[in-house]
Amino acid sequence: MGEIATPDSRDAREIELKFELKPEALDRLEERLTVRAGAPKPKPAQTLVSIYYDTAKFVLQKSGLTLRVREDGKRRIQTLKTEGDGLFTRGEWEHDLAKGEALNLDALQATPFASLPAQIGLELKPIFTTRMKRAKRLIREPAGEVEAALDRGQIEAEGRTEAVCELELELKTGRSEALFGLARRLAETEALRLSFVTKAERGFRLLADTAPGAAPGEPPQLKRSMTTAQAFTAIGARGLRQLTANAAVLRTLRRPEAVHQTRVAIRRLRTAFKLFEPVVRDPDFERIATELQWLASELDQARDLDVMIADTFLPAANRFEDQDGMAELGKRLHGSRSKAYDRALKALDSPRFLALTLDLAAWLDSGAWRDPAGPQYDVRAGAPVTQFAEAALDRLRRQIKRRGKDLKALSPELRHHLRIRVKRLRYALEFFGDLYGHIHGRRRFASVLKRLQDCLGALNDLEVARHQGLVLAEGGGRAAGDSAAEGARQAFAAGLMIGARVRGQKSLIDRAARLYDKLAAAEPFWRG
């Protein structure tokens, strides 16, 4: 598994891992890779200037293609890349340009570029540039050879610049185990951050003059021709990419949406694990699933307090702005949230998080579950994903219909379990929706499902707020350093806050029951 394509392949695969790190860490890694035992004498660092091309309307970018011309002082190389599977494997086609030749469109005719309208080639123009100082080191591993490229430089777009400090590990020969094994060893001594954001993506972002923001998840774009294993890999790749992108944003911007989207990425990954468990369970499955659960728990408190402040405290503070204790309660909640964010960021900056992302990437690429000759292989992995998807959607729909009966009488705990199933079905529809036609039926079904999830989510947030209110009122409402009188005022303010929130509970339950009835009666479009 994970074998690299032969060098003479027209449809070459570029298999690489990329890490962002601090300049001083890059210096240490360069020295370490240079002085290792048996290492060949390193070549001098290269100065690389890459010019990226696209049309004025960014047709290549929208088509999932990147076209650049790289100069290293001696050669000018034209390279076309595709988005690939969203992880570390991309299509790549190179062509040496002749002296004075800006682009060679003929060399692109045996690539995905050929599927674009012919006039696109005439509209191509330089749009941004990268300037890098690159030091390369070739590392021989038992499973193959890996090239380490240590990049320092900047991206330039319309007068704006962005600094770059990256380590790229590319598999040159052999199996991907060589790539991941080296990455794990390097991560033992340096704070590496796995990233799937390419220089091209950063260039387009710089061109648009937009700061990185919370990244919503993108559908995996499954095809009916895919096997179940291919579909799971595509879904997992999207989830891992969303996770690492939002972790990077959260390290810079302590914003509720970044926390939320990081948790969404984790939930999508955990949902995929649950859906595909019969097919992908192998010796590493439980360990990685447990680590995803750990990461979710490290972010839960930050998200709960974000929701508590936005949906419960702020409306109450506006309504009871002159109430004694309300301002103190607000300071207490914001202080608790700051500590919760500290906890979340500590987890995202930990070696444990890096190990999780590396292990997940390696497992998606070459886990034991993928090996047809292995004892853990399930024949459904090689079967059409449409068969698996239909059975999974049917199973989730049955669970929701069974658990939602007499919804008005359900306890908060049972409503919570129903909400989890509803959320799984919604994510499953996002995963598998492109496999089916019936767009209007699909949209109607998804709309009812989303409204039911939102309603059950609001009820769950209300229960969380109720519990947090009780915690705030414990011990007379006193926090550390508060007097008894200050505690009493905060406890009273907390009671007002929760009381105002729970007044809408009955109407939410009634609405959830009506939506459940609609969902139970809706035709499963995947069987249309």
173 with 267, same domain: the answer is no
Q: Identify the CA nearest to 259 among candidates 348, 157, 365.
A: 348
pLDDT at position 31: 87
Flag whether 233 is in a domain.
no
| Residue type at 395 in one-letter notation | R
Residue 475 pLDDT > 70, yes or no?
no
> Is 21 among the domain residues?
yes
408 and 293 part of one domain: yes
* 277 occurs within a structural domain: yes
pLDDT category, 215, cuts 50, 70, 90?
A: confident
Task: Indicate the residue among 195, 210, 225 that finishes a domain.
Answer: 210
Instruction: Say which CATH number the domain at 317 has.
Output: 1.40.20.10
Q: Identify the band that residue 4 occupies on the pLDDT scale cut at 50, 70 and 90.
A: very low
- Specify if 168 maps to a domain: yes
* 350 plus 496 within the same structural domain: yes
- Are residues 124 and 66 located together in one domain of the fold? yes
Residue 120 three-state SS: helix
* Contact yes or no for 344/299 (Cβ under 8 A): yes
Q: Are 306 and 314 a contacting pair, CB within 8 Å?
A: no
Whether residue 86 sits in one domain with residue 195: yes
63 in a structural domain = yes
Instruction: Say whether pLDDT at 453 is over 50.
Output: yes
Q: Report yes or no on 244 lying in a domain.
A: no
DSSP state of 478: P
Give the residue numbers spanning the domain of 45: 12-210
- Whether residues 320 and 183 share a domain: the answer is no
Tens of pLDDT along 216-250?
878 888 999 999 999 999 999 999 999 999 999 99
Residue 38: per-residue pLDDT: 59
Instruction: Give the C-alpha separation, 492 to 210, whole Å.
Output: 44
Closest CA to 404 of 418, 423, 416, 393: 418
The CA distance from 365 to 359, in Å, is 10
Whether 239 is in a domain gets the answer no
Looking at the structure, do residues 409 and 471 belong to the same domain, yes or no? yes
User: pLDDT value at position 217?
Assistant: 78
- Phi and psi angles of residue 297, each rounded to the nearest 5 degrees, phi first: -65, -30
The answer to whether residues 184 and 274 belong to one domain is no
3 state SS of 14: strand
Count other C-beta atoms under 10 Å from residue 482's C-beta: 17
Provide the residue type at 510 as one letter: D
As a dihedral over the C-alpha atoms of residue 515, residue 517, residue 521, residue 526, rounded to 10 degrees, the angle is 40
Query: What is the average pLDDT score of the chain?
Result: 89
pLDDT score at 39: 64
Residue 282 CA to residue 275 CA, distance in Å, equals 15
Please tell me the total count of domains within the chain: 2
- Answer yes or no: do 288 and 168 share one domain: no
Residue 138 included in any domain: yes
Rounded CA separation 433/324 (Å): 52
Q: What is the pLDDT of residues 66-96, one digit of tens each?
A: 999 999 878 899 999 987 655 666 788 999 9
Shared domain for 414 and 466, answered yes or no, is: yes
Q: Which of 147, 179, 210 is the last residue of a domain?
A: 210
Residues 357 and 496 reside in one and the same domain: yes
Tell whether 290 and 394 lie within a shared domain: yes
pLDDT of residue 84: 63
